């Protein structure tokens, strides 16, 4: 990557993709600090530059509290929101049919995939570097594209990611008024071998199931290349824009 952010934050530090982003960013000599936010407030990173914070969408105050801890530690050049939910051990999972819709599960999908990242934007965007390029990137998914939806299914997750994309675009417009060099984007990582995709990997074409290391390396190239003209858009790991 040609762009070298000094101060970064990754939300979802213990997720497959979040942890891989942190590993990559720590290899950059220009990095001065990386704030690793997770529900537990712990992470695998023992490097002096890695600072752990608790951040849990089920405890809204923890979002602003993490931002308050980070404030003053140096303006953030890069914030990556690598959180998300597709299924859990309590039986929450993607709906195959309209018959399976359930208000609590739909609300849960929206809470973790759309509302949480928007509240991170609310608390973290004021901490971002105003003097030069800054990037706020949230992990979205191609299935959040309405025009690209040709096979149906996964109602809650799709709708929540579409909602996330709209929240990001709206945020990008407001944020650019005071941070003209800012970039607020969504990212589609491809299908990545993590806990989130584990139950759905059977039908992935050969060569299309990426390691988290590969996907994050590619997404960092995208992050490195974007400019203020790209704000509000969603990009796939290969740099191609994902249509709304
Ligand atoms: N894997 C794929 O194939 C794929 C494809 C398309 C899009 N994506 C998107 O990529 C992102 C990362 O997914 P992943 O594959 O890395 O999944 P993962 O390994 O299951 O990680 C999920 C992440 O979500 C965080 N999270 C879950 N509930 C949370 C809550 N209540 N509050 C705060 N954080 C919470 C976890 O936080 P902790 O760090 O605290 O554990 C963890 O970091 C998601 O947005 C996902 O939708 C993934």
Q: Is 186 in the pocket of ligand 1 (CB under 6 A)?
A: no
Q: How far is the CA of 5 from the centre of ligand 1 (A)?
A: 23
Q: How many residues does the chain have?
A: 244
What is the rounded average pLDDT of the residues 9-31? 98
pTM: 0.99
Averaged pLDDT score across all residues of the chain: 97
Q: How far is the CA of 83 from the centre of ligand 1 (A)?
A: 4
Helices (H) and strands (E) in the chain, counts: 6, 9
pLDDT number for residue 1: 79
Residue 9 sits at φ, ψ, to 5 deg, of -135, 140
DSSP 161-225: HHHHHHHHHHHHHHHHHH-TTEEEEEEE--EE-STTTGGG-TTPPTT-EE-HHHHHHHHHHHHHH
Residue range 138-194, pLDDT digits in tens: 999 999 999 999 999 999 999 999 999 999 999 999 999 999 999 999 999 999 999
**What confidence category does residue 16 fall into, taking pLDDT thresholds of 50, 70 and 90?**
very high
Q: 7-236 maps to which CATH number?
A: 3.40.50.720
Q: How far is the CA of 230 from the centre of ligand 1 (A)?
A: 24
Q: Is 141 in the pocket of ligand 1 (CB under 6 A)?
A: yes
Q: How far is the CA of 177 from the centre of ligand 1 (A)?
A: 30
Among protein residues, the one whose CA lies closest to atom 24 of ligand 1: 83
Residue range 54-73, pLDDT digits in tens: 999 999 999 999 999 999 88
């Amino acid at each position: 990557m040609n762009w070298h952010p000094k101060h970064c934050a990754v939300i979802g530090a213990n997720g497959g993709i979040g942890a891989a982003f942190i590993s990559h960013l720590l290899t950059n000599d220009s990095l001065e600090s990386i704030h690793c936010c997770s529900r537990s407030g712990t992470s695998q990173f023992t490097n002096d530059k890695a600072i752990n914070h608790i951040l849990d969408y089920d405890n809204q105050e923890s979002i602003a509290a993490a931002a308050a801890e980070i404030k003053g530690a140096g303006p953030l050049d890069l914030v990556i929101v690598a959180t998300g939910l597709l299924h859990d051990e309590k039986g929450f999972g993607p709906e195959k049919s309209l018959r399976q819709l359930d208000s609590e599960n739909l609300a849960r999908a929206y809470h973790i995939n759309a509302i949480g990242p928007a509240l991170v934007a609310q608390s973290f965007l004021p901490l971002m570097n105003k003097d030069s390029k800054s990037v706020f990137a949230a992990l979205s998914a191609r299935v959040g594209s309405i025009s690209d939806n040709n096979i149906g299914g996964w109602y809650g997750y799709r709708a929540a990611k579409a909602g996330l994309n709209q929240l990001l675009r709206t945020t990008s417009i407001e944020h650019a008024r005071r941070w003209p060099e800012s970039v607020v984007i969504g990212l589609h990582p491809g299908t990545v071998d993590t806990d989130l995709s584990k139950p759905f990997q059977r039908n992935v074409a050969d060569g299309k199931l990426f390691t988290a290391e590969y996907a994050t390396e590619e997404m960092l190239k995208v992050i490195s290349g974007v400019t203020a003209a790209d704000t509000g858009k969603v990009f796939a790991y290969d740099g191609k824009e994902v249509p709304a």
